[in-house]
Amino acid sequence: MASTAPFAKMNGIGNEIIVADMRGRADRVTPSAALALNADAATKFDQIMAIHDARTPGTAFSIDILNSDGTGAQACGNGMRCVVQALAAETGQKTFAFETVAGILNAEEHADGLISVDMGKPRFGWQDIPLAEEFRDTRMIELQIGPIDAPVLHSPSVVSMGNPHAIFWVDRDVWSYELDRFGPLLENHPIFPERANITIARVTSPETMVIRTWERGAGLTKACGTAASAVVAAARTKRTGRSVSLVTPGGGSLHVEWRGDDHVILTGAAEWEFSGSFDPSTGVWARDTESAA
């Protein structure tokens, strides 16, 4: 069908990604198409990264990002690595500048196959995250789940890396918390007018951290690239240094550096699974015959 577009099913350390090639087209991937793709076990995803022709001089491509519930997202670090790997394999190019809703993102594929994405500068002002009310110090805000005298989670750090994030610091195994139950409540808490990603983080050393994330619009995820915000919040609260390795539920490792110029650099792997074509308006899709099973 002439209306179909190519796609690649990929993952960024477990973060399930669909990279959709929408270059040369005027249409967009619809929310109903996203819902249909997510309903199929083979194409279930956390984010769709739709590659469009550049709209801004100096950028290579424009990227639209959709969550699995059909809503838009401002940023996705793991998804950007998948985009870079797909484009680098096609073009041989190693460095890219992308236009996103969150701004211009620069990315690079290294000789060892790892990919770095410049996630830009964190935003800490309550109105920039945004929060519904003023908090002078966003290193810790008044928010908790559970009994008032014995909360299960409390006093998160909040920050925006393009998406709003709340990071709850814990001292025990991140798997011991019912994030599937608490996540939806916290994502949609009135303090977050644009909803928020919810991360449980356990610092294991000044250079390492284990995290688990409920992602806004996607739910429980094996990895979350903009959880780079956890490193920023950890360094800001003196829990770690500014260069940290994150262990995620997908079993992968991300290296995150909060550089002296205030930019956050996310480095990790991306993996191709299979390719196909789909209708961006309906989500009806077919696997390429030569694609791996």
Adjacent-strand bridge partners of 119:
none
Half-sphere exposure of 267 (CA within 13 A, CB side): 18
**Quick one: DSSP state of residue 162?**
S
| Kind of pairing between the strands at 243-247 and 208-215 | parallel
The Cα–Cα gap between 213 and 281 comes to 30
Rounded CA gap, 16 and 221, in Å?
A: 8
For residue 227, give every residue at least 6 positions away whose Cβ sits within 8 Å of its Cβ, in sequence order, or none. Answer: 165, 197, 199, 211, 213, 246, 248, 254
Distance set, CA 154 to CA 125, 142, 163, 166 (Å):
20, 7, 20, 10
Residues 94, 240 contacting (CB under 8 angstroms)? no
Active site residues: 76, 224
